[in-house]
A and B are shown apart, each in its own frame.
Chain A
Amino acid sequence: MSSDNTNTTETTQEARMGEGVDSRFNSTLREAFGSSPFILTKFDKFMNWVRGSSMFMLQFGIACCSIEMMHTYGVKHDLDRFGAGVPRASPRQADVIIVPGTIVSKFAPRMKRVYDQMPEPKFVVGMGSCTISGGPFQEGYNVIKGAEEVIPVDIHVPGCPPRPEALVYGVAKLQERIANGESAPVTVAPYELEQFGDLDDDELVQHLADQIDEEELVMRYDWAESPSP
């Protein structure tokens, strides 16, 4: 500490911040705190704010939308500016999954597995019309009518495909929700993976009984009951 106390114009804020701290560290935010370097908030609120400000996205490409998703990560749109743009290759390191494309019956159980591998708290952004309802492929015999048939979705970004700006907006909205501590509304009960032996014993199950083991995990699709065009 300097022993020269002749500088009597020092403000309280300057005095509390002390010397030795480079002025570059005194951001606008820091100045906004005013004279006190301390903030008083609820721990949960602080955690939510932190969570929303630093999100790791899963590198997850399915269909057409993933091309626009790559453009969102790329130059020009640069999602990383908003603290949400570092794609992680492993679901175990990610906390947001953007579902960019059509989900078909063969892929849905695999996507569920990827989602299950992500640590809590985790969030889902459904990108494009296919993840809302099956989109242009809704009438297909093999197409799941929206991501919410499989996993809960926080934010839907409509479009076919949505522009990168739309995805940026969707992610920003998600960050806002997380910061406010809002959680995913589950509007449709997601399918669960069930053991084959637990399925209702109907014609189809009897037919498959010699092919599938009792303990095998399966997904059952009742097309007649899913939202139809």
Chain B
Amino acid sequence: MSLEDPTKPELDAGETTEGVDYDALESLLGEYAIGRESHVNAEAFVVRPDEVQAALELLRAEAGFDHCSCVTAQEYEDRYESIYHLRKYDDPTQEVGVVVPTSRDDPVSESANEVYRTADWHEREAYDLVGIEYDDHPDLRRILLPETWQGHPLSLDYDQEQPQVVEFSEHANPLKEDHSGDAESDTMFLNIGPHHPATHGVLHLKTTLDGEQIADVESDIGYLHRCEEQICQNGTYRHQIMPYPDRWDYISAGILNEWAYARAAEDMADIDVPEYAQVIRTMSAEMCRIASHMLALATFALDIYGDFTAIFMYAMKDREIMQNLLEDLTGQRLMFNYLRLGGVAWDLPEPREDFFEQTRDFLDELPEKLEEYHNMITSNEIFQLRCVNTGVLGPDVAKSYGATGPVARGSGVDYDIRRDDPYGYYDELDWDVVTEQGCDNYSRVLVRMREVEESAKIIDQCVDLLEEWPEEERTIQSNVPRTLKPEADTEIYRSVEGAKGELGIYMRADGTDKPARFKIRSPCFSNLQTLPEMSQGEYIPDLIASLGSLDIVLGEVDR
């Protein structure tokens, strides 16, 4: 992996060759900054609720913070708070937080939608779950819970026992009216989902068609909102949270997700991880990535030309091999629960030679298999017709929606947390970040297929390392206190490169053994937001292809 710092001709305001100069940022913000907080990952500036747009615009335009990674909302005893976690696509280690407190009586704050398009959904979620209202927001409705929901479940005084009434109307008639609006209009309304084979789970797309073309599409999510954040807030740091990340992105990406929590918690509580465990983590995480990308490929082929027999089955076969390896390692096929704070649960399975041999066998066969996939998929004319130049997502649009992972890299945005904000053993290994410049569905598929090769390279090097690791130095776990109680008001936002992109965790400690706020920044949530941009003016089949190429998983979108 190339570790050279991207040598940039000019530095943004508040940037030094060392990183971010927060004093310079503070003077840049001037009177907008009415306070300053220290989070573990970065400094944060407190901004008045009616000056959010101006402050964010300044940070974006002058200081180069072009990536609004996450918006966290939370309630304190005396106030509400929205935190905008900003970073740079060029260098995600440069971070800054913008904290917007609002009073409990009148929790209204200015929307950041004008500056970062991605804030749209994040703020709707904040309104839905915590109850903060955003001025100037284009469409402030509930996003995850049903429209008729009473109360905001992550606010402090929420009564979970109260009855709820949920309407049925939205989907009562799948083909609402032949003609929506007045009789003169020639658009047609069409529901896709929430139960539909091509929506990859329970997603509802409200589509307005003009002839065959898409005039408008609106994603209606929340059909799999399993209260993951609440459940993590009810669990203790040490053991009770780790099983849940497996279930966010459940397409075998478990270890990648577990790592997101492990990284955040380990940085928060200052826990070391032995090098040997880091290598095992890196290897198993990349195995998960291969399995996950294989499923993306399988379902994409299924979506766009109904290929249930060849590609779907081939990819399933390869996933079975991966799942067998992971089962040998972790004891489970899908929900691994393998990482622990400060290491991993157990060492490689005995006999180690067999495990290495099986892994090597897979890696040896992989080039031939990939060639077959390329023959069947990417060089297939029908496939190309469906994918090349459909679902175009330009790099600037992708950035403004906070797209990450293969979706961003397929649009030429060279952004990969594994390289840019290294963790685990990635910076010791030799691999490349894959990007494609096409910005279309085809590029996104190509990125995934090429990433499988890179993951294989990483696994290969890890196996070499593990094979030669001296037996007396195989420490899988460092010393971690039985009960973790990080200091009160420690706040951290940390992310890793999940299978779908930047998977971030925000945690705030309150001195107990459970987090006071646990916020998940899901890559799919942001990626799905780009769907209208990609599909407006295109045909329905292209919408399905675009949706497939985003590779969303609803467990992670809805959390």
Contacts and interface: CB of A to CB of B under 8 A. Distances in A.
Contacts of A114: 195
Interface in A125-177: 136-137, 139-143, 160-161, 163
B168 A71 contact: no
A136 B232 CA distance: 11
A117 to B, nearest CB: 10
Interface in A53-68: 59-64, 66-68
A110 interface: yes
B496 interface: no
A142 B169 contact: no
B295 to A, nearest CB: 7
Given A110-B195, A110-B223, A105 B320 contact: no
Interface in B304-335: 312-313, 316-317, 319-320, 323, 333-335
B160 A223 contact: yes
B312 to A, nearest CB: 7
* B interface SS class: loop
B148 interface: yes
B176 interface: no
Interface residues of B, number: 54
A219 B166 contact: yes
Contacts of B168: 109, 113, 193, 216-219
B150 A207 contact: yes
A163 B333 contact: yes
Contacts of A66: 201
B36 to A, nearest CB: 35
Nearest to B196: A89
Given A63-B250, A104-B225, A140-B226, A109 B166 contact: yes
A113 B145 contact: no
Contact of B227 (A137, A208, A218): A137
Contacts of B183: none
Nearest to B247: A64
A224 interface: yes
Contacts of B312: 74
Contacts of A213: 169
Contacts of B172: 217
B2 interface: no
B162 interface: yes
B165 A137 contact: no
Interface string A99-113: 001101111111101
Nearest to A91: B195
A15 interface: no
A56 to B, nearest CB: 14
Contact of B334 (A68, A106, A109): A68
Contacts of A193: 168
Given A105-B146, A109-B166, A163-B333, A136 B247 contact: yes
Given A64-B335, A71-B320, A101 B163 contact: no
Contacts of A220: 163-166
Interface in B222-253: 222-228, 230-231, 234, 243-244, 247, 250-252
A223 B165 contact: no
A45 to B, nearest CB: 34
B230 A141 contact: yes
A221 B335 contact: no
Given A211-B148, A218-B166, A143 B226 contact: yes
Given A114-B195, A223-B164, A217 B334 contact: no
Contacts, number: 166
B553 to A, nearest CB: 9
Given A142-B145, A211-B148, A68 B333 contact: yes
Contacts of A68: 333-334
Contacts of A212: 148, 165, 167
Given A61-B201, A64-B335, A106-B146, A143 B227 contact: yes
B472 interface: no
B107 to A, nearest CB: 20
A141 B227 contact: yes
A110 B194 contact: yes
Nearest to A217: B168
B223 A221 contact: no
Given A71-B320, A89-B197, A160-B335, A62 B164 contact: no
Interface string B160-195: 111111111101100000000000000000000011
Nearest to A202: B163
A224 B162 CA distance: 7
Interface of B: 145-148, 150, 153, 158, 160-169, 171-172, 194-195, 197, 200-202, 222-228, 230-231, 234, 243-244, 247, 250-252, 295, 312-313, 316-317, 319-320, 323, 333-335, 554-555
Interface of A: 59-64, 66-68, 70-71, 74-76, 89, 91, 101-102, 104-111, 113-114, 136-137, 139-143, 160-161, 163, 193, 196, 199, 202, 204-205, 207-208, 211-213, 216-224
The 4 closest A-B pairs by CB, nearest first: A140-B227, A74-B316, A64-B250, A217-B168
25 contacts: A63-B554, A64-B247, A64-B335, A64-B555, A67-B250, A67-B251, A67-B334, A68-B333, A71-B323, A74-B312, A74-B313, A102-B224, A105-B146, A109-B167, A110-B171, A110-B202, A142-B225, A204-B165, A211-B148, A212-B167, A216-B169, A217-B167, A217-B169, A221-B165, A222-B163
Given A102-B226, A113-B171, A136-B247, 4 more contacts: A67-B251, A74-B320, A104-B223, A114-B195
